[in-house]
A and B are shown apart, each in its own frame.
Chain A
Amino acid sequence: MASGAQLVARLAGICGPEHVLTHPDALATYRSDGLAQYRQTPLAAVLPGSAEEVRGVVRACYEAGVPWVARGSGTGLSGGALPVSDGVLLVLARLRRILSVELDDARVVVEPGVSNLAVSRAVAPTHFYPPDPSSQVVCSIGGNVAENSGGAHCFKYGFTTNYVTALEVVLTDGTVVRMARDAPGYDLLGAFVGSEGTLGVATRIELRVLPRPESLRTLVAFFADTGAAGEAVSAIVAAGMVPGAIEMMDRLSIQAAEQATGAGYRLDAGAALLVELDGPEEECQARFEEVVGLCRDCGATDVRVAADEEERELLWRARKAAFAAMGRIAPAYFVQDGVIPRTRLPEVLRRIDALAGEYGLRVANVFHAGDGNLHPLVCYDSAREGEPERAEELAGLIVKACVEAGGSITGEHGVGVDKKAYMPAMFSESDLEAFQRLRCSFDPHGLANPGKVMPTPRLCGEVPGPYRQHPLERAGLASRL
């Protein structure tokens, strides 16, 4: 194994010395991603300027036996881009070219550092790119691919994995693998998207885009409580509608968001439901009236319909600002990302309320109601003795309540370092072992983003031979995986 200094010199040779950062001050920016409670200073941060340089860096790390972590814009909320202390941070921010826009094929090809919003802009005004995480202005497509990012519109439109049509991936030994939908062979693409940077790094990303909907109708309905708002969601879905977005906010988040934006949300409401229908004009028109009716039937105290694009943006601004606005009512918070079957919403919200009461902490709820993806914000004050620890414990119990209700520990933020401890709540040891088989096929030496996703560190063991006759021998091999 080469020394750290030798590797750094080699990286400088590949990317130019100005693109290899080793000074602690320069590295400070890169110590954490969007989840700032985890910090780690890497051996070096390197900013390659081309796919070829990425490959060179990965190959150099492989030869030096040094692990690496890929990072896009660093907006992730699970610590997925947290550096490893003895490793290299591969920053893809300079790879931000849009390589081609082919609207006849509804395709766009980009480098991984391109922002999510830039993709939609590149295909505007006729088309759009549906997955739209709240951080879309800055978050990178490479990061979206790693995390299989969602957003407010995935109830109708699906996730990043439904839109990636081809990838060029550098494996940890520097090999380049091209993956494409419909190509003969295993769906490598499907396995790679959402693998949180643990299987390799994508250097070229081809995405499918859709024609922009011709009509958008948006409303916010206010309810006495989240239970009534939840009933409205069920009624809308039961009527056979698949709205572009159905977002819910509870009392606490309405208050925070309203303070921050002045969007006109009712401060006396216990819940607000933002519903957006999009699609062909006549379809939207017909069904929108139905949505208004269903909200009223479910006890909406007030329904505000966006009269124009400006008002629509205002209504959305309150929803999108909800996280940031929480700072106005609490000094700090943990955000969770649990998912539940939507029909279990009322009981899980009651459970969260009860838990919050037990812990004497406030929990605000902002969530994607259509697909049951909760974002409980557990508020705390670090200045108070033991409160951060209690808040973290409460956040963990909320995640477990989601799993017990038949849901998931994470709907869109990823496991990263933040939720890996919860993985055994959702998956058995043999499930995790099967995951490891995939991981080891791609990265037998565990160099790509080690310490993420899996709850405990594990090694790959040798690749078993194809035809083993003896069952005991095979059982032995299986246990080493």
Chain B
Amino acid sequence: MAREAHPASFGAAASALAAAAAEGEVVRILGGQTKRAWGTPAEAGVELHTGALDRVVEHNVGDLTAVLQAGVPLARAQERFAAAGQRLALDPWPGPRGEATIGGILATGDSGPLRHRYGAPRDLVLGMTVALSDGTIARSGGRVIKNVAGYDLAKLFCGSFGTLGLVLSVNLRLHPLPAATATAVGTARAADRLAGGARRLAGQPLELEALDVAWREGRGTLLAQCAGAQAESRARRAAELMRQAGLEAVEVAADDGGLWAAQRAGQRSGERAVVRVASRPSRLERVLAAARECGASLVGRAAVGESFLELDPDAVGRLRAALPPGTVAVLTDCPPEHRDAIEPWVPAPEAAALELMRRLKARFDPAGACNRGIFVGGI
């Protein structure tokens, strides 16, 4: 049974981490536990929970910035930001009760449809404070939206699955909540038509908030969200482009919250496996073909080239073989009984990159304490 730590201050968190590391323990870092099974976590001697690091330290309304402690649930922070007409433009699936924390979202690099315009977590992080396994507390970046002083360690920690150290707090750039949103939606029964429609919209200067596709049971959907003072008239233009591209049942939804919540939820699965695929946007058609071949449903960011495929765990190998060579196909959700049989990190980094990653791990976490084994190459 792992020992638990629930530090409520940076000092206590750094001490708990350092003490466990000094004893040679593996420390499992946990937030809202909505992504607990991702990666290949090793047996841990200590579970370090970030739940007590739950303060919204700053919300600088006029500057559109905020500082959040790692254990703050994103949903709670968003409520706070929304009260001032702002948001963090990051919208991964928030968990059944909105428990996904900012620390966990950053550590896993999770995102949602807004990635189309605003990027991944690493694109919205201005700075970070971390604890390393030797007890060091280190800051990098800053609290202003423009800053190039020092190395960008926050980017290194985003998506690192907690293997370099413990994120204590993050400085974030916020954006104004749009005055209104409207979404153009169209469907297609042929993958090439869906992909063609997506390509058509991606190349237009519509300044879309999000451009998503979905594929379920032989039918594809294209969704294009416009936001701003003229959201609806722009969405009508997007709809017209969809029609020109041969999409069917094209309409504009002004009340579009449910559509996008479904896209977010579609990235996750409680019963089946989910593979996150990243490739060139122009390969969407091939990704869709592979999905159909393996009985997978798909949601994804058409212009980013990121898709989430939900399928039977037994079909993951087949899916990977059906994708173009070199395509990123990382396993995220998976029923526990299948997990050991599937390598999550595909493709493995090339030897030189992996060697560099191992050196980073050795420098930042010399004790090898932080989330040991969860990451690529057993890091």
Q: Which residues of A contact B (CB under 8 A)?
A: 102-107, 126, 147-148, 150, 154-155, 158-159, 161-162, 171, 175-179, 181-191, 193-195, 211-214, 234, 237-238, 240-242, 279-280, 282-283, 286-287, 339-343, 368, 371-373, 406-415, 419, 423, 426-428, 430-435, 437-442, 444, 453, 463-469, 471, 474-475, 477-478, 481
Contacts and interface: CB of A to CB of B under 8 A. Distances in A.
A372 B144 CA distance: 8
B359 to A, nearest CB: 4
Nearest to B228: A283
Contact of A423 (B149, B280, B377): B149
Nearest to B363: A437
29 contacts: A106-B203, A107-B280, A161-B123, A162-B123, A181-B120, A186-B164, A191-B155, A193-B152, A211-B203, A211-B204, A237-B62, A286-B230, A342-B62, A343-B60, A343-B62, A372-B144, A372-B145, A408-B147, A414-B148, A427-B139, A430-B138, A431-B139, A431-B140, A433-B138, A434-B153, A438-B151, A441-B363, A466-B367, A478-B136
Contact of B234 (A126, A154, A195, A280): A280
Nearest to B134: A478
B49 interface: no
Nearest to B129: A431
A465 B358 CA distance: 11
B334 to A, nearest CB: 16
Kindly name the residue among B85, B138, B143, B204 whose own CB sees the greatest number of chain A CB atoms within 10 A.
Answer: B138
B119 interface: yes
Contacts of A423: 149-150
B2 interface: no
B97 interface: no
Chain B residues touching A, range: 35 or more
Interface string B114-156: 0000011011000000101010111110111111111111011
B323 interface: no
Contacts of B330: 184
Kindly list the 4 A-B residue pairs having the minimum CB-CB distance in the complex, ordered from nearest: A190-B155, A434-B138, A240-B176, A182-B278
Contacts of B345: 184-185
B153 A177 contact: no
A410 B148 contact: yes
A242 B142 contact: no
Contacts of B348: 184
Contacts of B160: 186-187
A184 B347 contact: yes
Given A186-B156, A341-B63, A410-B149, 20 more contacts: A106-B203, A107-B280, A148-B152, A150-B148, A171-B356, A177-B356, A182-B328, A186-B159, A190-B156, A195-B152, A213-B207, A237-B176, A407-B147, A408-B149, A415-B149, A415-B150, A434-B364, A435-B140, A466-B366, A474-B366
Contacts, number: 286
Contact of A177 (B140, B148, B353, B375): B353
Contacts of B305: 105, 182
A474 B22 contact: yes
Nearest to B232: A282
A453 B148 CA distance: 10
A466 B373 CA distance: 12
B24 A467 contact: yes
Interface string B211-245: 00000000000000010111001100100000000
A471 B148 contact: no
A408 B127 CA distance: 11
A411 B352 CA distance: 32
B263 interface: no
Interface in B347-376: 347-350, 352-357, 359-360, 362-364, 366-368, 375-376
Contact of B229 (A147, A214, A286): A286
Contacts of A408: 142, 144, 146-149
Interface string B267-281: 000000000001011
Contacts of B354: 185
B189 interface: no
B306 A158 contact: no
Contacts of A439: 151
Contact of B65 (A154, A186, A283, A341): A341
